Amino acid sequence: MQVTTERLIITAFSQENYKKVSETYSIGKHIVNYLDNLKEDTELLGWGVWFVYLNENNQVIGDIGFKGKPDSQGTVEVGFGIIPEMHNKGIATESVGAIIEWALSSRKVKKIVAECLIDNLPSIKVLEKLKMTRTGIKNGMINWEILNDHHC
């Protein structure tokens, strides 16, 4: 499962690409947990971690994705992390925007939510550029959402 943009290749993480990615990218606990859950439920593919590669050299520069399948209300939560050397280049906005479009086109998603620390200015800028709306602040985190205009 893959989405491409002008500069990026965004690939859903799976058992098949784990070894290749782990050779050059630090695999966090959230990725290991996702892979364990994916073994139990293959429908999770796409609703977990995606890797962001640079088109020009296949370098893995971050992981983004969803925190599970859409719930009964059609809501998913998106999250992202890009390596520091790639900050301020529009990579997060480009990659997260691409998987948001993928999710919204799935017809399973009515709303995408996100959260970030109130002082995380780079993430705030990304979420604003993605046209997400602030819905409140709780426990030092800003909550965000975007509604699916295409939902049937």
| pLDDT tier for residue 20 given thresholds of 50, 70 and 90 | confident
Cα–Cα distance list, 2 to 34, 81, 99 (Å): 17, 18, 9
Distances from the Cα of 126 to the Cαs of 94, 96, 118, 131, 135, in angstroms?
A: 9, 9, 13, 9, 16
Question: In the prediction, which pLDDT does 150 show?
Answer: 61
Eight-state DSSP code of residue 84: G
Give pLDDT tens digits for 32-79: 899 999 999 999 999 999 999 999 998 999 999 999 999 999 999 999
Q: pTM of the predicted model, to two decimals?
A: 0.90
pLDDT digits (tens, 9 = 90+) for 27-39: 888 888 999 999 9
Helix or strand or coil: residue 7?
Answer: coil
